[in-house]
Amino acid sequence: MQKAARVKVLKKLKKKRRKLVKFVESVGEDFEDLVQKWSTSIIKVTLVTGIFLTTALPITAASIPKFEITVTNITPTEKENLRQKILEYLANFGRSRKVNAQLLSDLVSQITGLPTKAVLAGNKIPTVFGAIATEKHLMIYPGENLSQHLAGEDDFQKYSWTQMSTTPSAWGYFADSKNTVTEEQRLEEKYYLVIQTFEVENWNQNWPQLKDWYKFRKLLVYNPENGKGVVGVLADAGPAQYTRRAFGGSPEVMEALGLARTRTQGEVLVFFVDDPANTIPLGPVSQETILASTSGEGQ
């Protein structure tokens, strides 16, 4: 598309979006809530949508044409193009946090091959984009110490600097005792994530039910700066608002994201992983992870 034609199209889209927002608000509806409901059915994001990622207004389902194309088996070059589009989009809208979560989820899903969701079973992540930093190791069982926690000398050299939390996580211990620890529980702690669940809508009113739903919920954290991703579980609440961070990750998560000890903070995207059959393994996203996500039933 020629530059002049592109500018003309974008101007028309912006004008239509303003009219739509005004109409939706006039009938007492919340525009952004409707956008989240519409976007899943309206758009399957492809490389074609790249021309809309640098507009001067937040991208919503209402400002994007209805594409029915779904890209499968995209090439490394195409994945890199999508990653660059994400970076362009975040450069425009990331500071204000007014991003279209579903749009970004669709892009990341195409890049990683994983079934990521901005909303799952009606539940949301308070924000899908923000700063992340290294958290301490969590005790898997009561009384565990750092020497017991880390597998060997190599792990101790790489990960002991963060020390270990002296209290259990927001959801308690992963196992009741040292003798009952499973490999799955060790992996859950190894690749654990932290989000601000206290910002979840209606958390104070419905926290007993919501806390149970969010406990160890499978998530994907994606670093758009380098394209690295990790599948982990939500195992603690935080960080505190004064830190100006939205997320936290275990030392192993941070290393896998390319945000290891020398760079303990970066900006990432976090989404739910829709994995009811529990076929997607925890850990860095790899071809094996992608294959597992497409082989399980119920995806």
At the topology level of CATH, where does 129-295 sit? Barwin-like endoglucanases (2.40.40)
For residue range 104-129, what is the model confidence (pLDDT) as tens digits?
A: 999 999 999 999 999 999 999 999 99
For residue range 82-101, what is the model confidence (pLDDT) as tens digits?
A: 999 999 999 988 877 678 99
Task: Find residue 192's DSSP bridge partners.
Answer: 233
The mean pLDDT of 166-183, rounded to a whole number, is 96
The mean pLDDT of 161-165, rounded to a whole number, is 94
Where is pLDDT greater, at 19 or 153? 153
**What whole-number distance in Å separates Cα of residue 77 and Cα of residue 70?**
17
| Mean pLDDT of the residues in the chain | 82
pLDDT at 237: 94
The mean pLDDT of 128-139, rounded to a whole number, is 95
Least confident span in 44-48, 64-68, 130-134, 241-245: 64-68
CATH 2.40.40.10 residue ranges for the chain: 129-295
Does 166 have pLDDT greater than 80?
yes
Cα separations (Å) of 47 from 50, 62, 83, 229, 270?
6, 18, 10, 20, 21
**Residue 240: CA count within 13 A, CB half-sphere:** 2
pTM of the model as a whole: 0.78
Residue holding tokens 């969701």? 117
Give, as one character, the DSSP assignment of residue 262.
Answer: T
**What whole-number distance in Å separates Cα of residue 281 and Cα of residue 290?**
9
The mean pLDDT of 51-67, rounded to a whole number, is 40
Does 299 have pLDDT greater than 70?
no
Where is pLDDT greater, at 183 or 39? 183
- Residues 6 or more apart whose CB falls under 8 angstroms from that of 223 comprise 229, 257, 258, 259, 266, 268
pLDDT at 7: 67
The mean pLDDT of 42-67, rounded to a whole number, is 40
